[in-house]
Amino acid sequence: MFNIDFTKLVNNLLPWFLRGPRLRAWLMSLIAPVISLHAAFVTYRSSTIFSVGTTGMVLSLESMLNDVFNADALYPRIYISDSGRKDKLYLFNAAEGRTTRLHNQGESFPHIYLTNVSEPSGFDFTVWVPAALSFDYSRMYSLVAKHKAAGFQFQIKTF
């Protein structure tokens, strides 16, 4: 539907007695902006079809990332893994009847630090990219942020 040969179109719409090389060249120069706009439209259409075909599912995100950033490899090397999500630190009043997250010094609970390596991160999933693969971090981040499910947080790490 969108494959238009403008040279044939000009030749077919031009009457046979006006098909001289000079008039045909003049008409092709007039239609040159339309040809460039058509090429830009076809490129935009193919990228939009690719973008719409990508969903927030892990398999779809992995496929999209490997197609965009790892197209020349024989096997997909970019993958996504789930991360344990860290609970937020809440403080409650005694009258609310809820358990508090902070404890006295004599009790045997783990210390709470702002960043603790042993605690899971605040991300829902991690995108793992090989260190040997050169990629644009901001482009990858924007692609994943565009296609991920709403409310999920992620991080990009190399391995």
Report the 3 state secondary structure along 121-136: CCCCEEEEECCCCCCC
List the chain residues with pLDDT less than 50.
none
> Is residue 78 domain-shared with residue 126, that is, in the same domain?
yes
d(CA 83, CA 85) in angstroms, rounded, equals 6
Residue 109's pLDDT is 64
Residue 159's pLDDT is 86
> Is residue 81 domain-shared with residue 124, that is, in the same domain?
yes
> Is residue 46 domain-shared with residue 12, that is, in the same domain?
yes
Residue 119's pLDDT is 53
Residue 113's pLDDT is 58
Domain enclosing residue 64, as ranges = 58-87+116-158
> Is residue 63 domain-shared with residue 125, that is, in the same domain?
yes
Residue 96 lies in a domain: no
Q: How many domains does the chain have?
A: 2
